[in-house]
Amino acid sequence: MPVPVPSRPRSYPGRVPDDEPVPHRGREPEHVDVLVVGAGLSGIGAACHLTTRCPGRTVAILEARDAIGGTWDLFRYPGVRSDSDMHTLGYAFRPWRDPKPIADGPAILRYVVETAREYGVDRLVRFGHRVERARWSSADARWTVHVRRTVPGDQGVDSHGSTQILTCSFLYVCSGYYRYDAGYTPDLPGIEEFTGRVVHPQHWPADLDCSGRRVVVVGSGATAVTLVPALAETAAHVTMLQRSPTWILALPGGDPLADAARRLLPERAATSAVRWKNILTAQLTYRLSRSAPGVMRSLLLRGVRARLPEGYDVATHFTPRYAPWDQRLCLVPDGDLFRAIRSGTASVVTDTIDSFTPDGVRTTSGTVVPADVLVTATGLAVLAVGGIELEVDGQPVRVPDTVAYKGMMLSGVPNLAFTIGYTNASWTLKADLVAQYVCRLLDHLTASGRRYVVPLEPASGRRGPLLDLTSGYVRRGLQLMPQQGDRVPWRLHQSYLRDVRMFRRGRLEDAGVRFVR
């Protein structure tokens, strides 16, 4: 049974009438202890941690859109699903109970909404509130946050003009990592010649029916490999048109070890065993890819060959130019992509786009791939810190000039945390750790009588990009993101095992931060 997304609350403390241009005329703006930005998987998780671990603090969640769920509400294309297992993409504090490790988008959305309800944090969400600016004052030890009211039903971008001001002691940005209003579409010269429909998966039209039609999906990232088998179920034919191949790993749709653990162990023990099995498997796969890329290449290629017909040109279509895990490894449950190729309902063309005809795409080698619908599965447009303009004591902050502290705070920016998940493991593993760390920080500030904590820049050493993938969306977005340093606490190891120790038990007062009274 689908769980309806909670409706927008009609009134809440601090609400300013829509037609009031000056937001806090003659009265103090509303103040909260912790202001969470974003009601996606991370923001809802953060609020659950805050309300259970720091119950005395006031918390509000500002959400630009009119729904909980973020990614899992936005993306509606056929077949949308997770590509990491739900036992680790789900929260540690609320285990995922479905035996299937890979879940579809609606199931994940339901899980986030149900968690919000169960923990009562749905009541803290203020929909249609986009945070535009945040100014820190060290003298007052607080953020002044400028919020723009947005139009219901929109992606939280169009505004109807009214603004609101709030203040908070701690700003906790859980805004994800990409723009909601538009995905990335490359320049496609001559696209105007094409008379069919052109669709980006980020904004899949509810009325689009691809049954019996010829579909070309441009790209072979996680979006494309999810879409192709789903569309192939009803389309006349689906062509995945890629300019370069991707490493793909077919995994069984079920998890017999997890099923056995659930049969044999009490629920708590089984949940924990399955989580740790999945965490360790993902880490081992990643470590093997980095330390012995040749071995990993052979294993992956063997898996691909086994699922494709004899004589299939694996070298051209499924052998990437990069090493495994230079880009995120794409998982296909039960090898559904390969099944579609084997059955002839889908095929792969590896070539670059030259031009368009009224009913197809012409590639550089001269092939015309017929199409009624063209899907540009060409990726996301990265956005750092929710696009919020930050200012500290009157000085604008350029996020790319900052260095990330523990991958969750920005050098020189007091009392602000952000959530960016792992590139090589489930996002929520890091999100949960960051939330636990923020709770520890807040408790420590209170206990030690200090008002704020500010991360410092590393005094020396090399700096590098925050994310270590070579994927197109990461390369395009790096100049917007903070940097990382070459040693702890500024170096990101992308290792949950290392981070568990540091985030749950590591020293709070280390060389990378200053606590101020």
Ligand X SMILES: NC(=O)c1ccc[n+]([C@@H]2O[C@H](COP(=O)([O-])OP(=O)(O)OC[C@H]3O[C@@H](n4cnc5c(N)ncnc54)[C@H](OP(=O)(O)O)[C@@H]3O)[C@@H](O)[C@H]2O)c1
> CA-CA distances (angstroms) from residue 272 to 265, 362, 427?
10, 52, 18
Q: How many residues line the site for ligand X (CB under 6 A)?
A: 24
Binding mask 65-104 for ligand X (x = CB under 6 A): ----------------xxx---------------------
| Cα distance between residue 150 and residue 163, in whole Å | 9
Please state, in angstroms and rounded to a whole number, the distance separating the CA atoms of residues 68 and 57: 22
**Residue from 6, 303, 387, 465 in contact with ligand FAD (CB under 6 A):** 387
Task: Specify the length of the chain in residues.
Answer: 517
Of 62-70, 342-350, 434-442, 447-455, which part binds ligand FAD (CB under 6 A)?
62-70
Q: Which does 164 bind (CB under 5 to 8 A by kind): ligand X, ligand FAD, none?
A: none
Determine which residue in the list 221, 229, 458, 477 makes contact with ligand X, applying CB under 6 A.
Answer: 221
By a kind-dependent CB cut-off of 5 to 8 A, residue 42 interacts, out of ligand X, ligand FAD, none, with: ligand FAD
DSSP conformational letter for 329: P
416 touches, from ligand FAD, ligand X, none (C-beta below 5 to 8 Å by class): none
Pairing of strands 452-455, 389-392: unpaired
Q: To the nearest whole angstrom, how small is the minimum distance from the Cβ of residue 221 to ligand X?
A: 2
- Which candidate, 340, 330, 288, 282, places its Cα nearest to that of 309? 340
Applying CB under 6 A, does 423 fall inside the site for ligand FAD? Answer: no
DSSP H helical ranges for 25-129? 41-53, 71-74, 86-89, 105-118
Answer yes or no: are the C-beta atoms of 45 and 185 closer than 8 Å.
no
Site string for ligand FAD, 237-256 (x = CB under 6 A): --------------------
Closer residue to ligand FAD, CB minimum distance, 163 or 350: 163
Closest to ligand FAD by CB, 214 vs 406, is 406
Site map (CB under 6 A) of ligand FAD, residues 104-143, x = contact = --------------------------xx------------
Give the strand order in the sheet containing 360-363.
Answer: 353-357, 360-363, 368-370
Q: Of residues 328-367, which lie at the interface with ligand X (CB under 6 A)? A: 328, 353
Q: How far apart are CA 264 and CA 258, in angstroms?
A: 10
| 473 binding partner (options ligand X, ligand FAD, none; Cβ < 5 to 8 Å by kind) | ligand X
- Closest separation between CB of residue 513 and ligand FAD, Å? 23
Minimum distance of ligand FAD from residue 389's CB (angstroms): 10
DSSP string, 241-309: EESS---EEEE-SS-HHHHHHHHHS-HHHHHHHHHHHHHHHHHHHHHHHHH-HHHHHHHHHHHHHHHS-
**What is the amino acid identity at position 450?**
R
- For 450-468, letters b (16+ CB in 10 Å) and e give ebbbbbbbbeeeeebbbbb
CA nearest to 120, candidates 216, 48, 22, 42: 48
Nearest C-alpha neighbor of 272 from the set 430, 93, 467, 76: 93
Out of 40, 101, 128, 512, which residue is the one contacting ligand FAD (CB under 6 A)? 40
Among 239, 471, 483, 484, binds ligand X (CB under 6 A): 471
Size of the site for ligand FAD (CB under 6 A): 33
Please, which of residues 293-352 interact with ligand FAD by CB under 6 A? Answer: none
- The interface region with ligand FAD, picked from 16-24, 34-42, 162-170, 463-471 by CB under 6 A, is 34-42
**Residue 194 or 325 with smaller CB distance to ligand FAD:** 325
Establish if 164 lies at the interface with ligand FAD (CB under 6 A).
no
Closer residue to ligand FAD (CB): 335 or 421: 421
Helix, strand, coil % in the chain, rounded to nearest 5: 30, 25, 45
Q: Cis before residue 489, ω within 30 degrees of 0?
A: yes
Binding site for ligand FAD (CB under 6 A): 37-43, 62-65, 70-71, 75, 80, 82-84, 89, 130-131, 156, 174-176, 180, 386-388, 419, 421, 426-427
Binding site for ligand X (CB under 6 A): 81-83, 186, 218-224, 226, 242-244, 328, 353, 377-380, 471-473
